[in-house]
A and B are shown apart, each in its own frame.
Chain A
Amino acid sequence: MKNPPKLFLRFFRWFCHPKLLKYIEGDLIELYEERVKEKGKRNADLRFFIDVLLLFRPSIIKPAEGYQQLNTYGMYKSYFKIGWRNLVKNKGYSFINIGGLAMGMAVAMLISLWVYDELSFNKYHENYETIAQVYRSNNWGGELEASTSHVTGLGTLLKTEYGSHFKNVAMIRARTEERVLAFGENKFTQSGYFMQPEGAEILTLKMLRGTQQGLKDIKSLLLSESTAKKLFGDADPINQVVTMDAKWDLKVTGVYEDLPKNSTFNDAAYFAPLDLYIDGWGSLTSWDNYFVYIYVQINPEGNFEEISRIIKNVMLAHVDTETKETKPEIFLQPMSKWHLDSEFKDGELVTSKRMMSVWYYSAIGIFVLLLACINFMNLSTARSEKRAKEVGIRKSIGSLRSQLIQQFFGETLLVAGIAAVIALIVVQLSMPWFNDVSDKNISMPIGNPIFWMICIGFTLFTGLLAGSYPALYLSSFNAVKILKGTFKAGSFAMLPRRVLVVLQFTVSITLTIGTIVFYQQIQFAKNRPAGYSRANLIGMRTASPEYKGQYQAIRNELKNTNMVEEIAETNYSIIDTRGWNGGFSWHGQKYDQTFNTIFVTHEYGQTIGWEFVLGRDFSRAFPSDLSGIVINESALEILGLENPVGESLAWQDRGNFKIVGVVKDMVKGSPYEPTDPSIIFLSENDMQWLYIKIKSDASAHEALPKIQSVLASIVPSAPFDYTFADEAYGAKFRAEERIGKLATLFSAFALIISCLGLFGLASFMAEQRTKEIGIRKIMGASVTNLWKMLSKDFVVMVIVSCSLAVPLSFYFMTSWLGQYEYRTTISWNIFAVTGIGALLITLLTVSFQAIKAAMVNPVKSLRSE
């Protein structure tokens, strides 16, 4: 028997649709055999070839490549469909699942944006990689102290003799300086920096007008965009003359783009020349006045450590012997470390508070996300019994375990995807509010592909994490057992679920306790006796030469308004701790310590209401008070005098000062730290601050316009820029309050998410035991009985969580409080309150479901099959 040519047959078999293959092949072979008989093999072969070629057409060819893929696609479609139907069918669970997950993701996203912002601090400056600040460590009697304030001589030395190591060196007046900038009628108090001209280039100010070289002239000024707008509106500020503090006329030589919030220099409303600042009293080569920061930009190929080594001891040759004894050592601190890694203790870098809050928030973010994932896992496994039949059938039809795992992962990814979209919307909507609370200027980088990649990665990660347990657990069911009905997720299956609930509550309770302790600490510091009264007290800078010699005139005029109790002037604000001096001695006995030295007018005490422990206040009745001093309790402790009043202290060569009184410590610096030892002198020269105490029976609302008109008549060039001492003092707590607010928010979320999970789980349990409850009711169980039965499990879990959370939070919070000198104690009732609160919330959550289940008419619940 002759056979058709193999090649063509193979070709035909390859392309033909498998369903048709055998019939058409049969036809072809029949025809071939006939033709062989009639016309011979050659002809038959040829005709066979033609037939095969003509069969090569769309309706005969098998659905070409991708036949296989098409099938899997269908499978995925089915997974998607089943997953979606499951979501829609169980709306309550889906809501809890998706809502909880979305909440967790939103919190995690907000936190990661915040952390990213912290980590990218100062990156606005283009020379980020090569900028460093010059630090110096001194050895004060065995204790190393790092500081950033330097003498101008050092900056000049680095620039002239070590210039080859640096691309640029610039000195900037340490701290911002508040100055009144005036142009015509527009007068504003602005804070900014006095800086050498190279600074603009180091910081890469983005010039909108003018050039970075603008500070070369001593009478020049660079303005930030917003300051320029305030002063000049839309007019061109270049070459206009701005008056600073009514003393200097400065030409505007440039306008730079506002520095972003996450730059160390974000508060710079202007940059003025350092030469102007020191004009008339200082030089660029002084070696005894520490008042500038020094910034350097190294060459790109340079290396911070190496240069630090080279310049380590450059100061020794120039400073006096006393300073030399403190072994001043210079080193460079790179810009990348400024924000998060610049806290020194005993000469060593330590984890800074900011870094700690970055860690703290990151931990919360991870925990909240974890809680949401746990919820998800718990609910999915709890509901797995309902889907056990599906798994059984799928398995007996031939699903591989890996396919089931895929299916369930697919479902969790679907849910995670929905949750991620909701979370993104929530984050976008809450951004302004979040920025307000956290004092940041963060926005979602919507245009950034990396952001979206991270989002997708994040969703995948969450989906896989949340889905891992259900996917691996559900797919491990034994098909035969499930379908026979003998499958029961027994008490063993409950165990991991219980562990997860306990974990959830442990985390939530720990966070809650932490937050409460945090607030208690802030409150504790707020309630700390400040040693003076801030009520109705306003302060302002005496930012004009016109103030000189006008103190009494201002005082008389203000008191004539009948609105003002008293006024006083001082050289430093009452809420900061500037002005430190040493060199005091008593009967030839020298004190090593430095004291916070403040100069005030006679009325200072009456104005701020300080409290005397010993002695009396300054008084104009005693002319000798001009060489008198008031000290505070901390200072007294250092001085160690039995009867301080009447004793005299010598201060270098400035003469002897008689102690007239001792006052209670005043909290001027951080409210968490011990107060500074202070010595208060009388003076009326070179005062920087004016304080006005408004009468307690007068309202600030009425008093302020009168005060303003008085000041406007005596010192017309100074703006009426006042602050309430209360508010200024309150600002000391702002950083902590901010952390507290965010922590409250985040732990509230943690708790809500945990409760959502509990709620879902309780409702599932109740639903599962519907029949049991029905039978129990028939047998005579009361609603109370049933409620107890259903709630007991959860109460036990929460109690276990409490007993874990209490020691945990105690440990963490004790170590956290350790960083504060002035700190509250953790009392047991915080734990009691939190524990009872957690129990109550649990009972509320669970009882709702339990009572609902227990109230159902047993006829209904038992009839359901």
Chain B
Amino acid sequence: MKRYQLGEFEEVVMLTVGILHSEAYGVSIKKEIEKRLSRNVSVGALQTALRRLEDKEYLRSHEGAATEERAGRPKKYFQITALGKRAMEYSKSTRDELWSAIPKLAWGLKIIGLEGNL
């Protein structure tokens, strides 16, 4: 099976695109992430992530109508592809699996074990 690769920031972007549904474009995604996670997102970082996700075919885009407020520049809307959805599900399920595999006792011992190794 092909491994789905999804970085942390990429996952955030994917999820945001999902939240925004059909209204996801550069500025709206940026604002949504900033609002929900209260972290600063630069246009550059976001655009890079979008590009990467598009290359991986997790996102697809289409051109929106040009509006006056953007000096006539069109918006580029993003949507999650089927592949993108599977990648997100894979990412979530692997985490859930890992979470559930942690024995209750471990929460106390883990730190000691780590220290021992160090």
Contacts and interface: CB of A to CB of B under 8 A. Distances in A.
18 contacts: A22-B73, A22-B74, A23-B25, A23-B26, A23-B73, A23-B74, A24-B43, A27-B25, A29-B73, A30-B70, A31-B43, A53-B44, A54-B44, A55-B47, A57-B44, A59-B47, A60-B48, A60-B51
Given A20-B47, A59-B52, 18 more contacts: A22-B73, A23-B63, A24-B43, A26-B26, A26-B70, A27-B26, A28-B43, A30-B27, A30-B70, A51-B42, A51-B43, A54-B43, A54-B44, A55-B44, A56-B44, A57-B48, A60-B44, A60-B51
A23 B76 contact: yes
B75 interface: yes
Contacts of B44: 51, 53-57, 60
Main secondary structure of the interface of A (DSSP, over half): helix
Interface in B39-94: 42-45, 47-48, 51-52, 63, 69-71, 73-76
Contact of A54 (B26, B42, B63): B42
B3 to A, nearest CB: 21
Nearest to B52: A59
A31 B69 CA distance: 10
Contacts of B27: 27, 30-31
A22 B44 CA distance: 15
Interface of B: 25-27, 30, 42-45, 47-48, 51-52, 63, 69-71, 73-76
Interface residues of A, number: 21
A29 B72 CA distance: 10
Contacts of A50: 42
A33 interface: yes
Contacts of A51: 42-44
Interface string A184-205: 0000000000000000000000
Interface string A55-67: 1110110000000
Nearest to B77: A23
A225 interface: no
A51 B75 CA distance: 18
A737 interface: no
Interface string A15-40: 00000101111111111010000000
B70 A54 contact: no
Interface of A: 20, 22-31, 33, 50-51, 53-57, 59-60
Nearest to A60: B47
A31 to B, nearest CB: 6
A25 B43 CA distance: 10
Contacts of A54: 42-45
Contacts, number: 64
A53 B45 CA distance: 11
B51 A25 contact: no
Nearest to A34: B27
Contact of A26 (B48, B52, B73): B73
B45 A30 contact: no
B90 to A, nearest CB: 24
B42 A29 contact: no
Contacts of B51: 20, 59-60
Contacts of A20: 47, 51
A460 B30 CA distance: 59
A387 to B, nearest CB: 38
Contacts of A31: 27, 30, 43
Contacts of A29: 70-71, 73
B71 A26 contact: yes
A9 to B, nearest CB: 10
A20 B54 CA distance: 12
Contacts of B48: 57, 59-60
A308 to B, nearest CB: 84
Contacts of B70: 26-27, 29-30
A22 B47 CA distance: 13
Top 5 closest A-B pairs, CB basis?
A26-B73, A54-B44, A27-B26, A23-B76, A55-B44
B69 A33 contact: yes
Which of B30, B42, B44 has the largest count of A CB atoms less than 10 A from its CB? B44
Which of B27, B43, B51, B63 has the largest count of A CB atoms less than 10 A from its CB? B43
Contact of B43 (A22, A55, A59): A55
Contacts of A27: 25-27, 30, 43, 47, 70, 75
Contacts of B43: 24, 27-28, 31, 51, 54-55
B75 A26 contact: yes
A33 B45 CA distance: 20
B73 A25 contact: yes
Given A33-B69, A50-B42, A51-B42, A24 B75 contact: no
B69 A30 contact: yes
Contacts of B75: 23, 26-27
Nearest to B75: A26
B50 to A, nearest CB: 9
Nearest to B48: A59
A28 B46 CA distance: 12
B74 A26 contact: yes
Nearest to A53: B44
Nearest to B66: A26
A26 B74 CA distance: 6
Contacts of B74: 22-23, 26
B108 to A, nearest CB: 43
A502 B86 CA distance: 73
Contacts of B45: 54
Which of B52, B73, B74 has the largest count of A CB atoms less than 10 A from its CB? B73
Nearest to A51: B43
A772 B75 CA distance: 63
Nearest to A54: B44
A23 B28 CA distance: 13
Contacts of B25: 23, 27
Contact of B47 (A24, A30, A53): A24
